[in-house]
Each structure stands twice: as structure tokens, then as C-alpha cells.
Amino acid sequence: MIVTKYGKVVKGLGGLYETRVEDENGIERLACRAKGVLKRDDEKVLIGDNVKILLDDSTPDGLIISEVIERKNSLIRPPMANLDYLFIVFAAKKPTPVIETVDKLVAISVHNGIKPVIVITKSDLDSTVADELASIYIKVGIPTFITSSEDKTGVVPLAEYIQSEVVCGKTAAFAGASGVGKSTLMNALFPNLTLATAEISRKIERGRHTTRHVEIFEIQGGENTGFLADTPGFSLIDFARFDFFSLEELIPTFPELIPYIGKCRYTDCAHVGEGADECAVAKAALEGNIPESRLESYRSIYRVLKDKKNNYT
Ligand SMILES: Nc1nc2c(ncn2[C@@H]2O[C@H](COP(=O)(O)OP(=O)(O)OP(=O)(O)O)[C@@H](O)[C@H]2O)c(=O)[nH]1
Ligand SMILES: [Mg+2]
Ligand SMILES: [Zn+2]
């Protein structure tokens, strides 16, 4: 007899995928293997995938993921599918924030139809820098939170935001460089998660803990459920392998530039080096209507995409 179920992949470890199946009998967690073709690099099952699961009791295979239901989006880093929100996490200090990386993540998120949210951590270490960084993203219109897991700054507002935006069947992930405090913050937000963090492993003296796998956790709120993933932090080298999108698709990922497009002196203005007298975007930045760092990030991503285009054509 073959039984078919549908579930959501919440974790993957050594070829086994943990799936969450919810049906008329309730919620269960099933450990599944993937069918051969779904192990190939280009068709690999991702955390967040909705999948069809077969149990064929005439074979010894156990539970098999036989099909990945069409994704609404997927990312390479963090490697996940079907995200509604991406919480882009960086520290005010330790590690030093790299704004260009943050803006790359924002652009990738917007491009994929995923709502970006900025989360600044470790405000206890430098609240001035935390405020300065926050003001950039507030100006651009992205929801922004300043937090500290140490003194609990901003933990309640962020928890409330997640409750209202994500805990209604949505899926979100915390993403950002290693050591910014993603796992620590998730514990502070939802104390029953008890994720392993660098701090905890320091206390029990087992060396540095760093998150190694993407895992989706269920967050409850009354009758509702939301899905929130902790992800391994990336290094800057990872960003070199990021795949972006085409040059033509760049402008829409920087929404604050859009009002100025078409207003430069030359119709083919790329807004990358032209002066404020010729380029309406440069002028807007000079007048403080576009944050300087955002324009710098735009220009830097523009160059990367332009090089890529030249190399392929
Ligand atoms: N001062 C201060 N330190 C913090 C804060 N949050 C986290 N830390 C410390 O930062 C270090 C890294 O925290 P983690 O939560 O493991 O960082 P992570 O982003 O999950 O790192 P990866 O799993 O490697 O991606 C630990 O030593 C934490 O104690 C904070 O708000 N303030
Ligand atoms: Mg972690
Ligand atoms: Zn221009």
C-alpha cells in the first residue's frame, strides 16, 4: 500500500529531511529521504520546501520525498525556499558591520519578493552606531529594529512584530554574518527555543558554537503558527559566490532610487560616477534624500553585475 502525505521540510541532516506534516490527524514530524533526482545539485530539496511524501510499505525505503511543490522563491544563501520575510541581522559592533553586504541581502530579498527587515544587534556595545545604521534603513522605508540580547533592548517590539507578521502561517529566516548574534537573539525572543550559541558553549567550555544547519522552528501565537529559521552565518567569501540577477533588474531592488530615474541629464545615465549637476540620483544623495551608503552599495553591485554581463556577452 502507498500512502501519500504533504509536508514542509524544516531541517536536513546527512541525507535525512525532517518534515512537518499537518493533516486531519494533527501535526507530526517525519524523517524522510529524497528520491534520487531530488539529490542532484540543481534540484536539491531546500529547507522550507513543501513536499509530497510517499510511504510504500512494499519496499524497505521508508518515507520518500517524491516531489517538491512549486516554490514561490528560493535563495542560495541562506539556502531556503518559500520565504515571506528575511530578517537581515548585523551587529553594531563585533563583528564590524559591512553595510554593502547588508544592502546585497536587501537587494536579493526584494528581487525575490521576500520582505526585508533590518535587525541591528549588540546595541549595548555601541548604541550610537546602532542608531546611525538604523536611520539609514528607516529613511529607506524598511522595517528596522535595534536590539541587544544582553540588556534586552528592542526584544519585545521585535517579538511583537514577528507575532503579528509571521505567526500567521508565514515563513521567515534570520540571516547575516557569523557571530552577529542571530541564535542568541532568537533565544531572547522566544526563550523556549534554547538554541546553541557561542555564549552557551563558552559557558560549558566546549569551544565555539556556530550554527551549522538551517533549521525552521515553529512559533505559536494562540491558534496561529509561524515558521522562523535560524541559519548558519556566512563569511565574506560566501558573498563572492552569491548569484544575483541581471543588471536590468537592479534598480527595482533599490526602491528609494526610483523617484529619480529618468530625471538625469542623459537618458543613459547609470548613476555610477556622474556628478550631481548631471545625475538626479547623485543630487538626491548630496541633498540627503538618498543615504550615501545606499548609493555606494548600488554602485558597487552595479559594477559586479556589469562585469558579469560583459563576461557573458
Ligand atoms: N554584547 C553582546 N554580545 C552578544 C549579543 N548577542 C550575542 N552576543 C554574543 O555574540 C556571540 C555570537 O552569538 P551567536 O548567537 O552564536 O551568533 P550567530 O549569529 O548565531 O553566529 P553563527 O551561528 O555563527 O551564524 C556570542 O558570544 C554571544 O554571546 C548582544 O546583544 N550583546
Ligand atoms: Mg547561530
Ligand atoms: Zn543618474
Q: What is the pLDDT along the chain (313 residues), one digit of tens a residue?
A: 889 999 999 999 888 999 999 999 899 999 999 998 888 877 899 999 999 999 888 777 789 999 999 999 999 889 999 999 999 999 999 999 999 999 999 999 999 999 999 999 999 999 999 999 999 999 999 999 999 999 999 999 999 999 999 999 999 999 999 999 999 999 999 998 867 666 655 554 444 578 899 999 999 998 999 999 999 998 766 666 666 789 999 999 999 999 999 999 999 999 998 899 999 999 999 999 999 999 999 999 999 899 888 887 6
Q: Measure the CA–CA gap between 169 and 219, rounded to whole angstroms.
A: 10
Classify residue 84 as exposed, middle or buried by CB count within 10 Å of its CB (0-12, 13-18, 19+). buried
- What pLDDT score was predicted for residue 303? 92
Q: Is the CB of 78 under 6 A from ligand 1?
A: no
What does each C-alpha distance from 268 to 8, 265, 309, 310 come to in angstroms?
A: 46, 9, 17, 17
Does residue 123 line the site of ligand 1, with CB under 6 A? no
CA–CA dist 100, 94 (Å, integer): 17
The predicted pLDDT at position 210 comes to 86
Q: Which fold has domain 75-238?
A: Rossmann fold (3.40.50)
- DSSP strands (E only) in the chain: 2-13, 16-23, 26-34, 50-56, 63-68, 74-75, 80-81, 85-91, 115-121, 144-146, 171-175, 215-221, 224-230
Among protein residues, the one with the nearest Cα to ligand 1's atom 1 is 122
Atom of ligand 1 nearest to the CA of 198: 16
Question: Which pLDDT does position 205 carry in this prediction?
Answer: 47
Q: Is the CB of 165 under 6 A from ligand 1?
A: no
Domain boundaries, given as residue ranges, for the chain: 2-69, 75-238, 244-312
Phi, psi of 238, rounded to the nearest 5 degrees: -55, -35
User: In this predicted structure, what is the pLDDT of residue 150?
Assistant: 97
Asked if 182 and 147 count as a contact pair (C-beta separation under 8 A), the reply is no
Q: Whose CA is nearest to atom 27 of ligand 1?
A: 199
Output the pLDDT for position 278: 96
What does the alpha-carbon distance between residue 311 and residue 35 come to, in Å, rounded to a whole number?
Answer: 36
Model-wide pTM > 0.85: yes
CATH class of 244-312: mainly alpha
Looking at domain 2-69, its CATH class is: mainly beta
Residue nearest to atom 7 of ligand 1 (CA): 181
Tell me if 187 CB under 6 Å of ligand 1. no
The three-state secondary structure class of 39 is helix
Q: Residue 270 CA: which ligand is closest?
A: 3
